Amino acid sequence: MSEAVAFTEPRDAKPAAIEKVSIIISKGSLEGIYPGLIMANGARMEGIETNLFFTFFGMDAISKARHEHVKVAAVGNPALHLATWLGGFPGVATMITHRLAEEMEKLDIPPIPEFVEMISDSGAGLYACKASADLFGMRKDDFIDQVNDIITVGEFYGLAAGGQIIFT
Protein backbone atom coordinates (compact mmCIF):
# COMPACT_ATOMS: atom_id res chain seq x y z
CA MET A 1 0.00 0.00 0.00
CA SER A 2 1.49 3.33 -1.03
CA GLU A 3 1.33 6.49 1.00
CA ALA A 4 0.40 9.85 -0.46
CA VAL A 5 3.11 12.42 -0.14
CA ALA A 6 2.02 16.04 0.15
CA PHE A 7 4.27 18.68 -1.32
CA THR A 8 4.39 21.94 0.58
CA GLU A 9 6.46 24.97 -0.18
CA PRO A 10 8.44 26.58 2.59
CA ARG A 11 6.48 29.40 4.18
CA ASP A 12 9.01 31.99 3.08
CA ALA A 13 9.01 30.87 -0.59
CA LYS A 14 7.86 33.52 -3.01
CA PRO A 15 5.71 32.60 -6.02
CA ALA A 16 7.45 32.73 -9.37
CA ALA A 17 7.20 36.07 -11.11
CA ILE A 18 5.01 36.31 -14.20
CA GLU A 19 7.29 36.59 -17.21
CA LYS A 20 4.76 36.50 -20.04
CA VAL A 21 1.09 37.40 -20.39
CA SER A 22 -1.30 37.14 -23.32
CA ILE A 23 -4.49 39.16 -23.08
CA ILE A 24 -7.61 38.45 -25.13
CA ILE A 25 -9.88 41.43 -25.83
CA SER A 26 -13.26 40.34 -27.18
CA LYS A 27 -15.64 43.20 -26.42
CA GLY A 28 -15.92 46.35 -28.52
CA SER A 29 -17.12 48.77 -25.87
CA LEU A 30 -15.05 51.22 -23.84
CA GLU A 31 -15.48 49.12 -20.70
CA GLY A 32 -14.63 45.99 -22.69
CA ILE A 33 -11.41 47.30 -24.22
CA TYR A 34 -9.81 49.43 -21.49
CA PRO A 35 -9.30 46.66 -18.89
CA GLY A 36 -7.13 44.70 -21.34
CA LEU A 37 -5.20 47.80 -22.38
CA ILE A 38 -4.59 48.82 -18.76
CA MET A 39 -3.42 45.31 -17.89
CA ALA A 40 -1.15 45.18 -20.96
CA ASN A 41 0.34 48.57 -20.16
CA GLY A 42 0.94 47.55 -16.55
CA ALA A 43 2.58 44.32 -17.65
CA ARG A 44 4.92 46.13 -20.04
CA MET A 45 5.80 48.65 -17.31
CA GLU A 46 6.83 45.69 -15.14
CA GLY A 47 8.97 44.26 -17.96
CA ILE A 48 6.57 41.39 -18.65
CA GLU A 49 6.43 40.09 -22.23
CA THR A 50 2.94 40.95 -23.47
CA ASN A 51 0.73 40.00 -26.40
CA LEU A 52 -2.77 41.28 -27.10
CA PHE A 53 -5.20 39.15 -29.12
CA PHE A 54 -8.23 41.05 -30.43
CA THR A 55 -11.21 38.94 -31.39
CA PHE A 56 -14.84 39.54 -32.38
CA PHE A 57 -15.90 43.08 -31.45
CA GLY A 58 -12.68 43.68 -29.53
CA MET A 59 -11.17 44.25 -32.98
CA ASP A 60 -12.84 47.70 -32.87
CA ALA A 61 -9.84 48.80 -30.78
CA ILE A 62 -7.49 48.12 -33.69
CA SER A 63 -9.79 48.83 -36.65
CA LYS A 64 -8.87 51.95 -38.62
CA ALA A 65 -12.57 52.72 -39.09
CA ARG A 66 -13.66 52.13 -35.46
CA HIS A 67 -10.81 52.71 -32.99
CA GLU A 68 -11.58 56.41 -32.56
CA HIS A 69 -15.33 55.85 -32.12
CA VAL A 70 -15.62 53.23 -29.37
CA LYS A 71 -18.46 53.97 -26.92
CA VAL A 72 -19.72 52.73 -23.58
CA ALA A 73 -22.30 49.96 -23.86
CA ALA A 74 -25.23 51.82 -22.31
CA VAL A 75 -27.89 49.20 -22.97
CA GLY A 76 -27.72 46.11 -20.78
CA ASN A 77 -24.85 47.39 -18.63
CA PRO A 78 -25.98 46.88 -15.02
CA ALA A 79 -23.10 48.98 -13.69
CA LEU A 80 -24.70 52.10 -15.18
CA HIS A 81 -27.74 51.78 -12.92
CA LEU A 82 -30.30 54.42 -14.00
CA ALA A 83 -28.45 55.04 -17.26
CA THR A 84 -29.17 51.42 -18.26
CA TRP A 85 -32.85 52.24 -18.28
CA LEU A 86 -32.16 55.31 -20.41
CA GLY A 87 -29.49 53.61 -22.56
CA GLY A 88 -31.81 52.88 -25.46
CA PHE A 89 -32.59 56.53 -26.08
CA PRO A 90 -30.63 58.28 -28.84
CA GLY A 91 -27.51 60.07 -27.63
CA VAL A 92 -27.34 58.47 -24.17
CA ALA A 93 -24.37 56.20 -25.01
CA THR A 94 -22.54 59.15 -26.57
CA MET A 95 -23.23 61.32 -23.52
CA ILE A 96 -22.02 58.64 -21.10
CA THR A 97 -18.95 57.97 -23.25
CA HIS A 98 -18.11 61.69 -23.34
CA ARG A 99 -18.47 61.99 -19.56
CA LEU A 100 -16.32 58.92 -18.96
CA ALA A 101 -13.68 60.22 -21.39
CA GLU A 102 -13.50 63.48 -19.41
CA GLU A 103 -12.96 61.56 -16.17
CA MET A 104 -10.30 59.33 -17.75
CA GLU A 105 -8.49 62.38 -19.11
CA LYS A 106 -8.32 63.78 -15.56
CA LEU A 107 -6.61 60.53 -14.56
CA ASP A 108 -4.22 60.80 -17.52
CA ILE A 109 -5.64 57.66 -19.16
CA PRO A 110 -5.14 58.12 -22.91
CA PRO A 111 -7.83 57.56 -25.54
CA ILE A 112 -7.84 54.11 -27.15
CA PRO A 113 -5.82 55.00 -30.30
CA GLU A 114 -3.07 56.65 -28.27
CA PHE A 115 -3.11 53.90 -25.63
CA VAL A 116 -2.80 51.13 -28.23
CA GLU A 117 0.09 52.96 -29.92
CA MET A 118 1.82 53.47 -26.57
CA ILE A 119 1.47 49.78 -25.68
CA SER A 120 2.78 48.74 -29.10
CA ASP A 121 5.72 51.13 -28.77
CA SER A 122 6.56 49.52 -25.43
CA GLY A 123 7.15 46.22 -27.23
CA ALA A 124 3.83 44.41 -26.84
CA GLY A 125 2.58 42.31 -29.73
CA LEU A 126 -0.85 43.15 -31.18
CA TYR A 127 -2.72 40.50 -33.13
CA ALA A 128 -6.12 40.24 -34.78
CA CYS A 129 -8.03 36.95 -34.72
CA LYS A 130 -8.12 35.33 -38.16
CA ALA A 131 -11.52 33.69 -37.65
CA SER A 132 -13.06 37.02 -36.60
CA ALA A 133 -11.32 38.94 -39.37
CA ASP A 134 -12.64 36.41 -41.91
CA LEU A 135 -16.11 36.58 -40.36
CA PHE A 136 -16.24 40.36 -40.68
CA GLY A 137 -14.45 40.47 -44.05
CA MET A 138 -11.42 42.34 -42.70
CA ARG A 139 -7.87 42.28 -44.07
CA LYS A 140 -4.56 43.48 -42.66
CA ASP A 141 -4.99 46.93 -44.25
CA ASP A 142 -8.26 47.39 -42.31
CA PHE A 143 -6.27 47.45 -39.08
CA ILE A 144 -4.06 50.15 -37.60
CA ASP A 145 -0.34 49.99 -38.38
CA GLN A 146 0.57 48.70 -34.91
CA VAL A 147 -1.11 45.33 -35.56
CA ASN A 148 1.65 42.78 -36.07
CA ASP A 149 -0.47 40.25 -37.92
CA ILE A 150 -3.76 38.41 -38.27
CA ILE A 151 -3.27 35.00 -36.62
CA THR A 152 -5.21 31.84 -35.88
CA VAL A 153 -6.15 30.72 -32.38
CA GLY A 154 -3.48 28.01 -32.67
CA GLU A 155 -0.84 30.63 -33.48
CA PHE A 156 -2.05 32.69 -30.51
CA TYR A 157 -1.60 29.68 -28.23
CA GLY A 158 1.91 29.31 -29.62
CA LEU A 159 2.68 32.92 -28.70
CA ALA A 160 1.10 32.44 -25.28
CA ALA A 161 3.02 29.23 -24.48
CA GLY A 162 4.68 29.33 -21.09
CA GLY A 163 2.77 32.40 -19.94
CA GLN A 164 -0.50 33.46 -18.43
CA ILE A 165 -3.64 33.99 -20.55
CA ILE A 166 -6.18 36.59 -19.48
CA PHE A 167 -9.59 36.88 -21.13
CA THR A 168 -11.26 40.26 -20.66
Write the DSSP string, 68-111. Answer: T------TT-GGGTHHHHHTTSTTHHHHHHHHHHHHHHHTTPPP
Whether 140 is covered by a domain: the verdict is yes
Question: Quick one: 87 and 159 in the same domain?
Answer: no
Same domain, 59 and 117: yes
Domain annotation covers residue 5? no
What is the value of pTM for the model shown?
Answer: 0.81
Burial per residue of 98-128, b for 16 or more beta-carbon CB atoms within 10 angstroms, e otherwise: eebbeeeeeeebeebbebbbbbbeeebbbbb
Check whether residue 117 and residue 58 sit in a common domain: yes
Does residue 58 contact residue 25 with C-beta atoms inside 8 Å? yes
Overall domain count for the chain: 2
Q: Indicate if 126 and 102 belong to the same structural domain.
A: no
Q: What pLDDT score was predicted for residue 69? A: 84
Say if 1 falls within a structural domain: no
> pLDDT tens digits for 77-110?
555 555 554 555 566 677 777 677 787 788 888 9
116 and 90 share a domain?
no
| Assigned domain for 31 exists | yes
pLDDT (0 to 100) of residue 72: 72
For residue 86, the model assigns a pLDDT of: 56
Question: Quick one: pLDDT band at residue 3, thresholds 50, 70, 90?
Answer: low
Residues 159 and 76 in one domain: no
How far is residue 78's CA from residue 83's CA, in Å, rounded to a whole number? 9
Q: Is residue 124 part of a domain?
A: yes
Shared domain for 35 and 45, answered yes or no, is yes
pLDDT at 124 over 70: yes
**Cα–Cα distance list, 145 to 43, 56, 83, 121, 160 (Å):** 22, 19, 36, 11, 22
Is 13 contained in some domain?
A: no
Residue 9: per-residue pLDDT = 61
The answer to the question of residue 2 being in a domain is no
Judge if 160 and 119 occupy the same domain.
yes
Tens of pLDDT, residues 14-66: 888 899 999 999 999 888 999 999 999 999 999 999 999 999 999 999 999 99
pLDDT score for 151:
98
State the sign of the Cα–Cα–Cα–Cα dihedral 74, 77, 81, 84.
positive
Range of the domain at 81: 70-110
Same domain, 153 and 77: no
Report the pLDDT averaged over residues 144-161. Answer: 98
